[in-house]
Amino acid sequence: MVVPVPLQIVDTVVLIAALNRNDALYKRATEHVVNIGLRRDIFVPSATLLELDLELKAHGRNLEARLEDHSRLQRLIPGSRVLPITPGVLTRATELSMTAATWRASYFDTLIAATGLEFGADSAITTDRKFAKLGIEPVF
Amino acid sequence: MEPKAQKEGEEKPLTRAEAEKLVSEMRDLIGDAFKNHRDGDAEEYLFREIVPMGKKGARLRRGGGGSRATTNR
């Protein structure tokens, strides 16, 4: 009998914490990022990667710098570990926006949570407790 | 159809040590860029810097008498 393994999704805050030497949680966050390529149950929503790119832009990383960043990230996060944004994800995100996502700055959180719900994740690796309101248990 | 990058070995798994080294390299490259990071920075950047550029572009196209394909009617 095959027992389904619960999926976990990775929130952007984990990637940022792993890459931020000033973050007190960077060691734990690094473990999670390393596990993306080593374990079969951890997935990265496309919205997480998009938010990370915008974070890099917002914090002054120019094109050449982001080329360096993403070429390394490509090796850390194989394509098979990335979950796409599909019409189903957008439907769920819209539903969440209508019901649960009422706080400021919730656009990417909503897309990330919706991706998890659409693909059957039961938890999100994040320090953001707001994910619980979106139906995904935050774990870190 | 598989994306080209995956066919050419993107999926070759890293060891834990290799992955930790890559994260460490990225941390060194990024330095203090995220020092003042706050939740919501990406969204603020998106709606402050990128969305307004799109709106400006749309106005320019309409004002410039673009083709039928690009004019927003």
Check CB contact under 8 Å for B33 and A72: no
The secondary structure element, H or E, covering residue A124 is: strand A121-125
pLDDT band at residue B67 under the 50/70/90 scheme: very low
User: pLDDT, tens digit, for every residue of A78-124?
Assistant: 999 999 999 999 999 999 988 876 655 488 999 999 999 999 999 99
Q: Is A21 on the interface with B (CB under 8 A)?
A: yes
Mean pLDDT value across residues B38-57? 81
Q: Is A40 on the interface with B (CB under 8 A)?
A: no
The pLDDT of residue A11 is above 50? yes
Could you tell me the pTM of the whole model?
A: 0.84
- Work out the angle at residue A111's Cα, subtended by the Cα atoms of residues A107 and A114, and round it to the nearest 5 degrees: 135
What token pair was written down for B24?
Answer: 């460490």
Q: Is B43 on the interface with A (CB under 8 A)?
A: yes
Mean pLDDT value across residues B38-62? 76
When the pLDDT of each residue in chain A is averaged and rounded to a whole number, the result is: 93
Report the distance separating Cα B58 and Cα B56, nearest Å. Answer: 5
The secondary structure element, H or E, covering residue B21 is: helix B16-30
- Tell me which chain A residues have a C-beta less than 8 angstroms from the C-beta of B3: 79
pLDDT of residue B49: 84
Report the distance separating Cα A61 and Cα B55, nearest Å. Answer: 24
B40 min Cα distance to partner chain A (Å): 5
pLDDT of residue A115: 98
Q: Are B26 and A73 in contact (CB under 8 A)?
A: yes
**Percent of chain A's residues with pLDDT above 90:** 86
Q: What is the ipTM of this complex?
A: 0.87
pLDDT of residue A104: 54
Cα-flanking dihedrals φ and ψ of residue B21, to 5°? -65, -40
